[in-house]
Amino acid sequence: MGATYATPRRGKAAAQRIAGPRISANSRRMSSRSPVRVRFAPSPTGFLHVGGARTALFNWLFARKHGGTFVLRVEDTDQSRNTEEAVQVIYDGLQWLGLEWNEGPLVGGDHGPYFQSQRHAIYERYLKRLLDGGHLYDDAGATRFRSPRQTVVVDDAVCGHIEFDMSNPATHPDMTIRRPDGSWIFHFVNVVDDIEMKISHVIRGEDHLSNTPKHVELYNVLGVKPPVFAHIPLILKRDGKGKMSKRDEGSSVNSYREGGYVPEAVRNYLCLLGWSPKDNREKLDIEEVVQLFDLDKINRRNAAFDLDKCFWLNGQYIAQMPMSRFRELCVPVLQADGILFEALGEAHLENVLGLVKEKIKLITEVGPWTRPLFTEDFPFDDTAVEKTLKPAGTAARLRELASKLNRVTDWSHDPIEAAFKELAAAAGVKPALYIHPARIALSGRAVGPGLYQMMIVLGKDRVLARLEKAAAMAG
RNA sequence: GACCCUAUCGUCCAGUGGUUAGGACAACGGCCUUUCAAGCCGUGAACACGGGUUCGAAUCCCGUUAGGGUCGCCA
């Protein structure tokens, strides 16, 4: 009853359920014996770990793929570290990655509340059932679950058939379910919530694999068929020594957002950790991943996080994304850097962004790269000045260049380039001797957009003025 | 320590009985060039070890070793 996609009551959740792009109402009904319901159940620690984000991603992909429901549940049983801000970090991280949940905080649903701290009555009810069944006993005020002490079989969608011999209490002690102060322990509430929320597939990190038989014991005793388990490999730190933890570089989703990473690139990279399309492609549109994704394509190997590759992929995304998206990503960064780009108009903004789009790897680079194209107030890089501007003769060359450029009437790429070449040829030196100092003079930096393009965007007058100004500080 | 999982280039991912073991990142070299980059081309780089099974094993089995995980009144 009710175990179909067409729920009896057309609640908010039903309306918001993710519809797989190619799942028609008809095919849905045909495969609807048990609707796919998955969940991401983070603890609000004030930190969203990339491993957690990938777990959320795989759940989200699976739900999308099967036209199911992705539930967000906040496991805040440890009230000491449960804060409003900590929960917000989870929302922000998931939203940033585009992993919208269909049921949970903020969006509601028919299986709430979605905070464990608000579900005491439910846990009491289940506790009573266990108690009545004689499965619990008191241990110094805490409540423990008496293991049936049998072999538990877990048929994992990723790890396969595994048997756990639970007969030895020394190696598999009875788990605690409730502390003397009345607060609940993870294993119990996690199972109860999955039952109550009708979770069909539990997709979670492999660190839970060894805990799974305990969970299955609970399901068995409660007379509930366990969900399908799928334990995905862990994300290890760069050197592969241990799972990535809070301290490790790149372990927080937030560090990517702040570091200039593009969410679609990070999401793409995360897809590739433990899963692959099997055809050697790296950059994949998320909709295509949704289509190709499945549990049996997840490998069982823990993977070390390769920040270099994530960085590379980010550059690929930036270079290939539409200008409108690039602009959208850059604007807040430019604003944060205090660059007043609006006064110069939209066309100028897009010209400038076009100059750096295929070169920068991180959105945060846009400020330093483009500041000289928006204002006269830009910094000069000390080492670049020392190396390229200070050598004797540079000032003279910059003035020569200015006077040469002053005679260029058609201010476009080829004539400007020709001016440099002619000047160098006449002086019997390499064009680089004019080019490098010019770059520093115009942008204060040794690295940046194409020199001639930069000059065009800047306009002749400002170019001449900056050359003159730089000549004054040159050797 | 017990139990569970895993084992292909430095890293990620392909390869499920017959391949010159493939791709990507990184590294290195070259080209281009206007610096850095980008782009293009190229090079080096792996089946942990030992036994089986088989005509034939990276692929299947066993063992060893190594790595990871779990054994909480954390989640």
CA A332 – C1' B72 distance (Å)?
Answer: 45
A180 touches strand B (CB under 7 A): yes
DSSP string over A181-226:
TSPBPHHHHHHHHHHHTT--EEEEEGGGGGGHHHHHHHHHHHT-PP
Q: What is the dihedral of CA A50, A185, A59, A42, to 10 degrees?
A: -40
A74 touches strand B (CB under 7 A): no
Token duo for residue A227 = 């969900």
pLDDT higher than threshold 80 for residue A385: yes
Please give the nucleotide, over all strands, whose C1' is closest to the CA of residue A431: B34
Please give the nucleotide, over all strands, whose C1' is closest to the CA of residue A420: B34
pLDDT higher than threshold 50 for residue A18: no
The pLDDT, as a whole number, for residue A24 is: 30
| Pairing mode of beta strands A228-232, A201-205 | parallel
Q: How far is CA A366 from CA A144, A264, A288, in A?
A: 57, 18, 30
- Which helix (DSSP H) or strand (DSSP E) does residue A471 occupy? helix A460-473
pLDDT higher than threshold 60 for residue A16: no
DSSP string over A316-330:
HHHHHS-HHHHHHHH
A474 touches strand B (CB under 7 A): no
Residue A33: pLDDT band (50, 70, 90) is low
- Tens of pLDDT, residue by residue over A355-381, are 999 999 999 999 999 999 999 999 998
pLDDT higher than threshold 60 for residue A72: yes
CA A278 – C1' B18 distance (Å)?
Answer: 22
CA A232 – C1' B19 distance (Å)?
Answer: 30
- Token pair 């780009």 is at which residue? A341
- Tens of pLDDT, residue by residue over A420-458, are 988 988 888 888 889 999 999 999 998 888 899 999 999
The pLDDT, as a whole number, for residue A82 is: 59
A176 touches strand B (CB under 7 A): yes
CA A384 – C1' B20 distance (Å)?
Answer: 49
Please, what is the average pLDDT of chain A?
89
| Residue A291 · residue A285 · CB < 8 Å | no
pTM for the full model?
0.90
| Residue A309 · residue A338 · CB < 8 Å | no
| Residue A239 · residue A306 · CB < 8 Å | no
Strand-pair partners of A156? A160, A229
At A170, give phi and psi (nearest 5°). Answer: -70, -35
| Pairing mode of beta strands A69-72, A37-40 | parallel
CA A304 – C1' B2 distance (Å)?
Answer: 27
Token duo for residue A340 = 């007043």
A138 touches strand B (CB under 7 A): no
Task: Point out the residues of A that are catalytic.
Answer: 246
Q: In the predicted model, what is the mean pLDDT of residues A65-71? A: 97
pLDDT higher than threshold 90 for residue A176: yes
The pLDDT, as a whole number, for residue A80 is: 56
The pLDDT, as a whole number, for residue A383 is: 86
Please give the nucleotide, over all strands, whose C1' is closest to the CA of residue A139: B73
pLDDT higher than threshold 70 for residue A8: no
User: Residue closest to B67, CA→C1'?
Assistant: A241
Length of chain A, please?
475
CA A315 – C1' B15 distance (Å)?
Answer: 29
- Tens of pLDDT, residue by residue over A248-294, are 888 899 999 999 999 999 999 999 999 999 998 999 999 999 999 99
CB within 7 A of strand B (chain A, 394-423): 417
Q: How far is CA A134 from CA A127, A166, A218, A233, in A?
A: 11, 19, 13, 36
Question: What is the ipTM metric for this complex?
Answer: 0.94
CA A301 – C1' B7 distance (Å)?
Answer: 8
Please give the nucleotide, over all strands, whose C1' is closest to the CA of residue A384: B35
A194 touches strand B (CB under 7 A): no
CB within 7 A of strand B (chain A, 366-395): none
CA A185, distance to chain mean position in Å, is: 29
- Tens of pLDDT, residue by residue over A112-145, are 899 999 999 999 999 999 999 999 999 999 999 9
Nucleotides of strand B under 7 angstroms from a protein beta carbon: 1-8, 10-15, 22-26, 34-39, 67-75
- Tens of pLDDT, residue by residue over A290-346, are 999 999 999 999 999 999 999 999 999 999 999 999 999 999 999 999 999 998 999
| Residue A54 · residue A94 · CB < 8 Å | no
CA A328, distance to chain mean position in Å, is: 18
CB within 7 A of strand B (chain A, 280-319): 280, 282, 297, 299-304, 306, 308-309, 311-312, 315-316, 319
Please give the nucleotide, over all strands, whose C1' is closest to the CA of residue A43: B75
The pLDDT, as a whole number, for residue A249 is: 83
The pLDDT, as a whole number, for residue A81 is: 58
A171 touches strand B (CB under 7 A): yes
